[in-house]
Structures are given as C-alpha cells and as structure tokens.
Amino acid sequence: MSDLFEALLESQINVRQRNILKSPKRGGSSDIDAVPYLGELGVTIQEKRQPIQFTPNINEHIHRWAPYVQGFSASFVQSILDTYGSEYDSPIILDPFAGCGTVLVQAKLNGYESYGTELNPLLQFIANTKLNCWDISPYFLLKIYNSLPKDKRSPSPAFLKSHSHFKPGVLRNLGIIKGGIESIEIKNEKLKKVKDLLLLAFSSILIDCSNLKRSPCLGYGKGKRIYDTAPFVLLDQKIHHIADDLRIIHNEYRDFIHTPGKVILANSMKYTHTRKFDLVITSPPYMNGLDYVMNYKIEMGWLGFANSHKDLKNIKDAMVVCDNVSKGLINNFHTSNSTYTNDWIEEIKSNIAKNIVKRGSYRREDMPYIVHKYFDDMYKTMKNVTSALNVGGHFILVVGDSLIADVYVPTDLLIAKIGLDLGLQIEKIEKARERRSGQIRSYKLRETIITLIKGR
C-alpha cells in the first residue's frame, strides 16, 4: 500500500477499524494459538460438532415454555445423560449456572434428581416453574386462564421506559393481562402453581409483543409490526402449549412428576452445597458474552424481580464477571489480594495491557483485571462444585474462548487447568462449534465441551 493511500485510508476510518485492519490476528484461529497451551496440558482437542444452543428447544416440551438465548439445547443435555447416566445408580445432577433450567428439566424427564444455583431471580423463577408444576391438570390451568378478569389493570414497571418499549394499545392490554393474573387469590398450593405458570407465560411473550428484539442482545427491532391484540393472541398460544405439555407429562412422564428438581437463588461462587452430586453439567457465562441481567430487564421489571436500575446493577455485579460490569467492581478486585492466579493468566494479562498501550485506547482499559476476575470467579465456583462432587463424578463445562486486544485467551484450557489445580483429571476436551471473534471477524474461535472427572 502506498504511503499516500495508507494516510488517506487512515484519515477516513476510526481507531477501532484501524486496529482491526492492523491486527496480527486477522485470518487466524484459536486452534493455532492453542497449540502451546495444549502441549503444556498434554491433551488434544477432539472434534464433536453438534447443536448445543437453545434454539431448537422452541419445539421441545417444557423447554419451549420460555424462550432463552443463552441456554443449552435439550438434545445436548440428553446426549450427556445418555453417555454418563448409566455409570451411576441414579445420578444426582447439578448445574451451578442453571439459567432457565434446561439441564434440570432434561434430568427430570429422565427421572433423575437435579439441583441448580442461579443468581438472576427471573431465571430461577422460570426454571422452578418448569420443574415444579408437573402435577397441575391442564384442564385446571385452562379453567383459571379462561376466567381471568379483564377489568383489573396493572401499571407498567416505573423504572422502565415502557412507552418506548411498547405501543400504547399493547401496553394497555399487557396491563389488563397482568392485572387479571395478579387478582388470583392463592388459596392453596395448586392455585399458586397455576398463577406461576400464568406469570411465566406472560413473561415469555413480553419481547414478542414489544418494539424490541433479542438477537442475542436486547435492542430495538427496526420495522417490527405489532398489533394491539398481540398480548392476548400470544398468551393464548403459550398457555395452550403449556396445557398440551402438561397432558404429555401426565401420559408419558407420570412416574417422574414428583422427582425432585430445584434451583436455589444463590451465588455459585459462595454457595456451600449440602448434597453430593454425580454429574455436573453446566455452561458458565462467557467473558465477552451476554449480559444476563440487562438482556432480561423487561421481564424482570414486569414480574417485580427488579424495581430499579440499581437492583439490576447489584445482581449483575454479583455474577461471574462479563466485560461490561462497573469499573468500581473491577477496581475493588484489582486492589484486593486474595485471588487465584497462574502463570498463563499473568502472561495473558500482561500481553493485553501491552497491546492496549500500543493501540492507544481500548473499550475497557481495565480489561486485564476483568480477565483475571473472570478466572478467579470461575475458580471459586469450581472449588465449591468440586467439593460437592462424588468420587468418580463427572464435571462437564461448555465454554467459548476469546480474543481480547489481539491476545488469545484459551478460556476452555484455562478452565481445564483450574480443574487440575483442584485435583480433577481431564477426561476429554471436545470442540462442539466454531465461532467468529466479535472484534476480528476473520479470527476463528471455538466452543468447547470440557469433561473433568474426580478420580479415586
């Protein structure tokens, strides 16, 4: 490129675009950059391509009750249960990052006891409702639904901009539905469960009724046309899906209706388990992944799980860190000294810091500490889980790696390394999917299944 042309080009592009054009990682891949780390661990990565994401669940019984962007596919969880279930008498399953409960619901469909922890109260509610309403008669659900009053109207959440999120007619109809559900008097446990099912159904239609879309982050959906009657039409469809699934449960899964399955509202980094588990199947948040709070703020507000932006921030700050947490949180972490580290983390931190200086600016200057906090958070969770794992138990994690300021972060291999530090053994590491880096689109990242085992 001539100097003149380069100067002209540089004058027309912003810093971010320039950094992308100059990145040494263009056209690269995590498979190449992972080689030295794999050598040190003494393992190779096997190919195991499969659909691991939630999308196909929209056609699966129970899983389809609530849409969730960041969950597992039911078929992936089933494949793990098929592989390992028979190794134990009747395995007890744990998902420390339970999300909307895909692992637990699938475990229950196999008759296995299952537990989880989850920090987002909306997701905990959704998961528990999907797990604990199997004894409700579909006729009873429909009877209560059909008799909901239409003359009670609930206000929209005060801290959200509901008038921009919804058209006026849609907003009015959502208020009528919510008012009707709220008017149900909880006279017994069955009515409480029906009310929970109706609230779950209501929460799961909100984004479809709004001017927003989640793809996967929540934002305005250009050109989205919504009729005022959408809340009634979509709720009716959802309730009938739930009633159909309850019918299937009563016909095909009757023996498992009372199999225990429960998600506790707790921080996986701090929670001390009182049970022992045979099989842990989980997917932690990804470092540069999604915001599990802001993405669900509409549903959290409408169901009363958050009443202010401060509530949302507090939940988010307690979670395994992602790259848009508050600066104060990272600053506190940075100045505290009781943290997990290892030589890989220190080298990665130092390379990210150097590249940020070289670039002149970066989205988050405190990125080295965000990365460090992520692995410290993961260490804390993995330590808790490992102490609760039976000898011979499997700990299976699905995670994606990252490219940060042109530095490759082998998240999956670092998690395997933390497992080794905690006394676990690596059974296998498999590549389930290829992804593109959000920053350098031509750089190939992967999504990995890490299988660890607690040896004798």
Ligand X SMILES: C[S@@+](CC[C@H](N)C(=O)[O-])C[C@H]1O[C@@H](n2cnc3c(N)ncnc32)[C@H](O)[C@@H]1O
Catalog residues that contact ligand X under the rule CB under 6 A.
68, 70-72, 95, 97, 99-103, 117-120, 123, 267-269, 283, 285, 292, 319-320
In this structure, the number of other CB atoms found within 10 A of the CB of residue 114 comes to 27
**Measuring CA to CA, how many Å separate 40 from each of 343, 397, 425?**
12, 20, 14
Between 30 and 114, CB nearer to ligand X: 114
Least spacing, CB of residue 349 vs ligand X, in Å: 21
What residue number has its CB nearest to ligand X?
Answer: 99
- Per DSSP, the residues of 239-287 read HHHHHHHHHHHHHHSGGGTT--EEEEE--TTTPPPSS-EEEEEE-PPPT
Least spacing, CB of residue 93 vs ligand X, in Å: 12
Between 118 and 406, CB nearer to ligand X: 118
Cα–Cα distance measured from residue 4 to residue 383, given in angstroms and rounded to the nearest whole number: 57
Between 132 and 283, CB nearer to ligand X: 283
Least spacing, CB of residue 356 vs ligand X, in Å: 26
Between 300 and 416, CB nearer to ligand X: 300
Least spacing, CB of residue 144 vs ligand X, in Å: 27
Q: Are 197 and 129 in contact (CB under 8 A)?
A: yes
Least spacing, CB of residue 219 vs ligand X, in Å: 19
Sheet holding 45-47, edge to edge: 45-47, 425-436, 444-453, 389-400, 277-282, 93-95, 114-118, 261-265
Please list, in sequence order, all residues whose beta carbon lies within 8 angstroms of the beta carbon of residue 335, skipping any fewer than 6 positions away: none
Between 33 and 95, CB nearer to ligand X: 95
Phi/psi at 440 (nearest 5 deg)?
-110, 95
Cα 51 to chain centroid, rounded: 16
Least spacing, CB of residue 164 vs ligand X, in Å: 25
Cα–Cα distance measured from residue 53 to residue 71, given in angstroms and rounded to the nearest whole number: 6
What SS3 class is residue 301? Answer: helix
Cα–Cα distance measured from residue 44 to residue 38, given in angstroms and rounded to the nearest whole number: 6
Between 117 and 162, CB nearer to ligand X: 117
Q: Which helix (H) or strand (E) holds 394?
A: strand 389-400
DSSP E strands in 63-148: the ranges are 93-95, 114-118
Least spacing, CB of residue 100 vs ligand X, in Å: 4
Between 138 and 400, CB nearer to ligand X: 400
Cα 12 to chain centroid, rounded: 38
Please list, in sequence order, all residues whose beta carbon lies within 8 angstroms of the beta carbon of residue 115, skipping any fewer than 6 positions away: 92, 93, 94, 95, 104, 260, 261, 262, 263, 264, 273, 275, 277
Between 104 and 440, CB nearer to ligand X: 104
Cα–Cα distance measured from residue 421 to residue 415, given in angstroms and rounded to the nearest whole number: 10
Q: Are strands 277-282 and 45-47 parallel, antiparallel or unpaired?
A: unpaired
Least spacing, CB of residue 71 vs ligand X, in Å: 3
Least spacing, CB of residue 373 vs ligand X, in Å: 12
Least spacing, CB of residue 387 vs ligand X, in Å: 16
Q: Are 148 and 181 in contact (CB under 8 A)?
A: yes
Least spacing, CB of residue 316 vs ligand X, in Å: 9
Cα–Cα distance measured from residue 165 to residue 170, given in angstroms and rounded to the nearest whole number: 10
Between 72 and 253, CB nearer to ligand X: 72
Between 41 and 266, CB nearer to ligand X: 266
Cα–Cα distance measured from residue 413 to residue 206, given in angstroms and rounded to the nearest whole number: 38
Between 171 and 450, CB nearer to ligand X: 450
